[in-house]
Amino acid sequence: MINGISINYYLLLSTVLFIIGAVGVMARRNSIIIFMCVELMLNAVNLLLVSFSTLHNDATGQVFVFFIMAVAAAEVAVGLAILSMIYRNLKTIDTDILSNLKH
């Protein structure tokens, strides 16, 4: 029990949030929305790490979440720079048009 709440509920909540993010990646065509859904999945995992860290009373999980946040910030900075450069050259960020690697 964390705080009167079983760890299973946190597992369930993280799973649902992760799957909403995964469905968003599959169902949308706008690259920026896909990027945001990836952030959502990262957050679901972060939430689970913090809950297990609290459960076992071990700070390592929370330190890892701190590092994941730093890596996510770096990822977003580079990713959005790439997307804005793509938009400048092609005037679109539609994933169905950005399919040069497929042909």
Partner 1 sequence: MLGYTITQWIFGILSFLAIMFALMVVFSRNPINSVLYLVLTFFCVAGHYLLMNAQFLAVVHIVVYSGAIMVLFLFVIMLMNLNENTEPQRTWLTKIIAGVAGGLLLVVLVGSLKGAEQLQLASYGASQIGLVKNLGKVLFSEFLFPFEIVSVLLLAALVGAIMIGKKEIK
Please give the residues from 19 up to 48 whose contact with partner 1 meets the rule CB under 8 A.
19-24, 26-30, 32-33, 35-37, 39-40, 43, 46-47
Minimum separation from the CB atom of position 86 to partner 1 (A): 10
What would the DSSP string read from start to end of 17-60?
HHHHHHHHHHH--BHHHHHHHHHHHHHHHHHHHHHHHHHHT-TH
Nearer to partner 1, 50 or 102 (CB): 50
Write the DSSP symbol of residue 102: G
Distances (CA, A) of 38 to 6, 58, 73, 103: 27, 27, 12, 26
- Interaction between residue 84 and partner 1 (CB under 8 A): yes
36-49 core/surface letters (b: 16 or more CB in 10 A; e: else): ebbeebbbbbbbbb
The only residue of 45, 81, 100, 103 in contact with partner 1, by rule CB under 8 A: 81
Write the DSSP symbol of residue 70: H
Nearer to partner 1, 70 or 101 (CB): 70
Minimum separation from the CB atom of position 97 to partner 1 (A): 8
Minimum separation from the CB atom of position 4 to partner 1 (A): 5
- Interaction between residue 90 and partner 1 (CB under 8 A): no
